[in-house]
């Protein structure tokens, strides 16, 4: 009894020490460490040979909850979670090329320890994100290189590329799939009573897919057919260093009636990416955070009567729906694409072509109108600028709304027509000086709309550094690309382009940053001189979709095909790569917010119907948690 009391006093003393080290006061500690009581869940992970493993993701989920929290093991193979309430939990450790290790403990006391031994497996390709599948495609011959390039251009616009390659087919099977996909919608849906006509036989096929379908089918049958595969799979290195300091919370966001299954969700990697034909997986197109750390997500491409956007209580996972009525059918909710928060925390989005704001505290929404009572128009993409204006991409131009004066200003892009590709606008960014920047992806142009003068400029981007060799595509093989320009099916630019999707800017950066979805480069454009600088992304074929700037001038990017978020420091030009704990996220956006003085990143998973937020500990904070956990478990033995 005396020994037990001594151990208890030791644990209490260590807990007091860690509170001092972490500085658990408002505005100092991250939210991940805000809970001062509860269970500290920890353990060590080793491989079959007894060697400790760094960079293993460990996930915990309480029974009946929609929240999964994940952390990574450090160089000693130790994982440690922020404090949590005692509950029956599902605990899972995963690393590519190893079978998942599982446990169902009931943590209690101050510290609970559970160690895992990971067993390697031979066939692990289903665990891989899409970019690693593309990396494994052979390119030994010129025709192999051509077809790999065609696959990059054709088969990554409406789904991640691991989805396309997971199942094997013979040549006729691949030809059938390519023929159907040439007429399908970007959502990945096939025709159904809810979405008639999305894959109708009389719909004009993509010219590029139609031109290459036989040759691509032959190539895919060679690499993913019934016979031995020519693909050689190599996982990315597991996270190390700063990359293991992240705490990731993922909240399920399915629609009403879908439930909360732990299958077909991307959580169990060996199942592969979730299917795009499962509508339960498409309820988080975009998202952001408020200053309290709560999450918000937009519901797009899902006609429903209950939700335009949803608010998630970051502690409990409880979802509150906001219904903005459609114009023609007010009983139905308006679908929402982009969702942002401004400098004051107000939420902004477009709903059925109208600009809407939402108070995050009350969730009351308001349709924006001009002083004359006209509805402020909205497109699919929005951003704030450094002067407080709200910009929206609108056809072949943009609109800026001033929340203080309620006045709108419209801008037209200089290029309205072109034979080289689509002139439509896509992503929208505001810079620190109040200007708006549009991605005209079909022409590889960034258009600047100058707030102070009303002038507009087209800035032509240079060719992609990863453009194919001049002799790889010749004759009709090249002409089919030139004929389509940057208007390839599903908006994926041709291999000579950058195809910027959702650029980012704002204070304190003196640049706008464009994610090269096709070129695998981050494009920096000086907002005054328009000088362009290119930075290669850490990995190819990740599908970099959006770039945002935080208050420290750090650039954050998200990858639809790589299931990852990356941090780029413009001063050191160094990248930090953060793997997400779900396969098949297909994230189409991210937003960065300062919460209690610390950066948090909100990431929607459109491919698996989740909304995630990333928090980042310092080495000292994590070491302090680890010290308490290891000492307490040692004392209890």
342 with 414, same domain: the answer is yes
Is 287 within 8 Å of 300 (Cβ atoms)?
Answer: no
284 with 377, same domain: the answer is yes
- The domain tally of the chain equals 3
Q: How far is CA 252 from CA 474, 608, 614, in A?
A: 48, 8, 15
Specify the DSSP class assigned to residue 449. Answer: E
244 inside domain: no
CA distance 43 to 633: 9
406 Cβ contact partners less than 8 Å away, ≥ 6 residues apart: 368, 369, 370, 371
Specify the DSSP class assigned to residue 267. Answer: S
CA distance 512 to 447: 11
Span 183-212, average pLDDT: 64
152 with 65, same domain: the answer is no
What is the overall mean pLDDT for the chain? 90
CA distance 477 to 190: 29
Q: Which pLDDT belongs to residue 11?
A: 39
Span 48-62, average pLDDT: 98
91 with 175, same domain: the answer is no
Is 208 within 8 Å of 481 (Cβ atoms)?
Answer: yes
Q: Which pLDDT belongs to residue 278?
A: 73
CA distance 78 to 39: 16
10 inside domain: no
Q: How far is CA 61 from CA 89, 148, 254, 318, in A?
A: 5, 39, 17, 15
Q: Which pLDDT belongs to residue 505?
A: 98
Q: What is the 3-state secondary structure (H, E, C) of 44-97?
A: EEEECCCCECCCCEEEEEECCCCEEEEEECCCCCEEECCCECCCCEEEEEECCC
Q: Tell me the helix, strand and coil percentages in the chain, rounded to 5.
A: 20, 30, 50
Position 109 pLDDT exceeds 60: yes
Span 72-86, average pLDDT: 96
Among 236-245, 297-306, 323-332, 461-470, the minimum mean pLDDT is found in 297-306
Q: Which pLDDT belongs to residue 202?
A: 60
4 inside domain: no
79 φ, ψ to 5°?
Answer: -115, 150
424 with 491, same domain: the answer is no
Span 181-200, average pLDDT: 57
The CATH number of whichever domain residue 287 belongs to comes to: 2.120.10.30
Q: Which pLDDT belongs to residue 375?
A: 96
376 Cβ contact partners less than 8 Å away, ≥ 6 residues apart: 354, 355, 367, 368, 369, 370, 399, 401, 408
Position 15 pLDDT exceeds 60: no
CA distance 258 to 7: 47
CA distance 357 to 524: 30
Span 73-87, average pLDDT: 96
Q: Which pLDDT belongs to residue 33?
A: 86
Q: What token pair was written down for 354? A: 């109208």
325 with 377, same domain: the answer is yes
Q: What angle do CA 494, 133, 518 make, to 5 degrees?
A: 20
Whether the bond into 508 is cis, omega within 30 of 0: yes
Position 188 pLDDT exceeds 80: no
Q: What token pair was written down for 82? A: 């922020």
Position 546 pLDDT exceeds 60: yes
DSSP string, 463-513: PPTTPPPTTTS-THHHHHHHHHTT--GGGPPPTT---B-B-B--TT-SEEE
Torsion of CA 521, 525, 530, 532, to 10 degrees: -30
DSSP string, 321-343: EE--B-SS-TTSBPPEEEEEE-T
112 with 155, same domain: the answer is no
Place of tokens 């907002």: 527
322 with 396, same domain: the answer is yes
pLDDT tens string 394-408: 989 999 999 999 999
Among 25-39, 65-79, 148-162, the minimum mean pLDDT is found in 25-39
Q: For the chain, how big is the Rg over CA atoms in Å? A: 25
CA distance 135 to 148: 10
Q: Which pLDDT belongs to residue 27?
A: 44
Among 158-162, 310-314, 328-332, the minimum mean pLDDT is found in 158-162
3-state secondary structure of 425: coil
Q: Which pLDDT belongs to residue 187?
A: 54
344 inside domain: yes
pLDDT tens string 234-272: 999 999 999 999 999 999 998 776 555 566 889 999 999
517 inside domain: no
The CATH number of whichever domain residue 74 belongs to comes to: 2.60.40.1120
Position 41 pLDDT exceeds 90: yes
399 inside domain: yes
Most confident of 155-159, 225-229, 491-495: 225-229
Position 389 pLDDT exceeds 60: yes
Q: How far is CA 535 from CA 451, 518, 523, 572, in A?
A: 28, 14, 7, 12
Specify the DSSP class assigned to residue 369. Answer: B
Among 151-155, 310-314, 585-589, the minimum mean pLDDT is found in 151-155
Q: What percent of the chain lies above the pLDDT cut of 90?
A: 76
Q: What is the 3-state secondary structure (H, E, C) of 186-230?
A: CCCCCCECCECCCCCCCCCCCHHHHHHHHHHHHHHHHHHCCCCCC
Tell me, rounded to whole angstroms, the distance of Cα 614 from its chain centroid. 11
Q: Which pLDDT belongs to residue 236?
A: 97
Q: Which residue has the higher pLDDT, 516 or 632?
A: 516
For the chain, the distance separating the N- and C-terminal CA atoms, rounded to the nearest angstrom, is 14
Span 529-535, average pLDDT: 99
pLDDT tens string 425-454: 899 999 999 999 999 988 999 999 999 999
For residue 460, name the pLDDT band (cuts at 50, 70, 90).
very high
Q: Which pLDDT belongs to residue 3?
A: 38
380 with 406, same domain: the answer is yes
226 inside domain: yes
- Residue 9: CA atoms inside 13 Å, Cβ hemisphere, count? 6
96 inside domain: yes
pLDDT tens string 548-572: 999 999 999 999 999 999 999 999 9
Q: Which pLDDT belongs to residue 491?
A: 54
212 with 261, same domain: the answer is no
Q: How many residues does the chain have?
A: 637
CA distance 520 to 466: 8
Structural domain span for residue 229: 129-234+467-497
184 with 219, same domain: the answer is yes
Q: What angle do CA 512, 344, 570 make, to 5 degrees?
A: 25
194 with 309, same domain: the answer is no
Q: What token pair was written down for 521? A: 């480069």
Per-residue exposure over 111-137, b if at least 16 CB sit within 10 Å of its own CB, e if not: bbbbbbebeeeeebbbbbbbbbbbbbb
pTM: 0.93
């Amino acid at each position: 009894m005396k020994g037990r009391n001594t151990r208890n006093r030791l644990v209490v003393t260590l807990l007091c020490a860690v509170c001092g080290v972490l500085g658990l006061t408002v505005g100092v500690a991250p939210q991940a460490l805000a809970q001062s009581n509860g269970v500290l869940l920890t353990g060590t992970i080793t491989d079959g040979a007894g060697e400790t493993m760094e960079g293993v993701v460990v996930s915990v989920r309480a029974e009946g909850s929609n929240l999964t929290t994940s952390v990574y093991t450090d160089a000693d193979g130790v994982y440690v979670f922020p404090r949590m309430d005692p509950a029956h939990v599902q605990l899972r450790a995963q690393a590519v090329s190893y079978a998942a290790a599982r446990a169902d403990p009931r943590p209690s006391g101050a510290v609970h320890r559970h160690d895992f031994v990971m067993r390697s497996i031979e066939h692990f390709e289903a665990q891989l994100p899409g970019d690693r599948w593309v990396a494994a495609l052979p390119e030994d011959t010129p025709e192999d290189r051509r077809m790999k390039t065609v696959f990059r251009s054709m088969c990554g616009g409406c789904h991640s590329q691991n989805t396309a390659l997971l199942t094997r087919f013979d040549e006729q099977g691949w030809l059938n799939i390519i023929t159907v996909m040439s007429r399908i919608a970007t959502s990945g849906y096939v025709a159904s009573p809810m979405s008639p006509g999305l894959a109708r036989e009389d719909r004009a096929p993509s010219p590029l897919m139609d031109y290459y379908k036989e040759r691509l089918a032959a190539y895919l049958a060679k690499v993913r057919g019934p016979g031995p595969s020519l693909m050689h799979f190599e996982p990315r290195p597991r996270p190390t260093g700063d990359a293991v300091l992240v705490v990731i919370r993922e909240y399920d966001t399915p629609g009403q009636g879908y439930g909360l299954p732990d299958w077909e969700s991307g959580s169990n990697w060996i199942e592969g990416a979730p299917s795009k034909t499962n509508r339960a997986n498409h309820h988080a197109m975009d998202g952001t955070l408020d200053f309290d750390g709560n999450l918000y997500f937009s519901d797009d491409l899902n006609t429903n009567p209950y939700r335009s956007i949803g608010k998630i209580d970051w502690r409990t996972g409880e979802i509150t729906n906001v219904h903005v009525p459609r114009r023609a059918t007010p009983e139905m909710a308006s679908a929402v694409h982009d969702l942002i928060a401004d400098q004051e925390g107000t939420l902004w989005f477009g709903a059925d072509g109208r600009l809407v704001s939402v108070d995050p505290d009350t969730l009351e929404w308001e349709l924006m109108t001009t002083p004359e009572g006209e509805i402020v128009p909205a497109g699919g993409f929005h951003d704030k600028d450094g002067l407080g204006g709200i910009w929206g991409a609108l056809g072949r131009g943009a609109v800026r709304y001033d929340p203080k004066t309620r006045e709108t200003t419209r801008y037209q892009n200089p290029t309205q027509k072109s034979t080289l590709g689509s002139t439509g606008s896509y992503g929208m960014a505001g810079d620190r000086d109040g200007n708006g920047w549009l991605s005209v992806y079909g022409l590889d142009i960034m258009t600047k709309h100058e707030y102070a003068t009303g002038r507009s400029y087209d800035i032509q981007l240079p060719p992609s550094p990863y453009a194919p060799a001049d002799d790889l595509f010749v004759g009709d093989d090249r002409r089919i690309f030139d004929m389509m320009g940057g208007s390839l099916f599903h908006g994926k630019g041709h291999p000579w382009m950058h195809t910027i999707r959702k650029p980012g800017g704002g204070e304190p950066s003196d640049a706008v940053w464009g994610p090269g979805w096709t070129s695998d480069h981050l494009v920096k454009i000086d907002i005054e001189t328009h000088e362009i600088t290119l930075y290669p992304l850490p990995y190819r074929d990740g599908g970099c979709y959006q770039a945002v700037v935080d208050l420290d001038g750090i650039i954050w990017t998200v990858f639809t095909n790589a299931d990852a978020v990356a941090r780029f420091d413009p001063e050191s030009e160094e990248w930090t790569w953060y793997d997400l704990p779900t396969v098949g996220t297909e994230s189409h956006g991210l937003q960065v917010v300062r919460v209690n003085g610390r950066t948090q990143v909100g990431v929607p998973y459109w491919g698996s119907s989740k909304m995630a937020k990333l928090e980042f500990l310092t080495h000292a904070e994590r070491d302090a948690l680890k010290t308490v956990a290891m000492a307490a478990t040692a004392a209890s033995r």
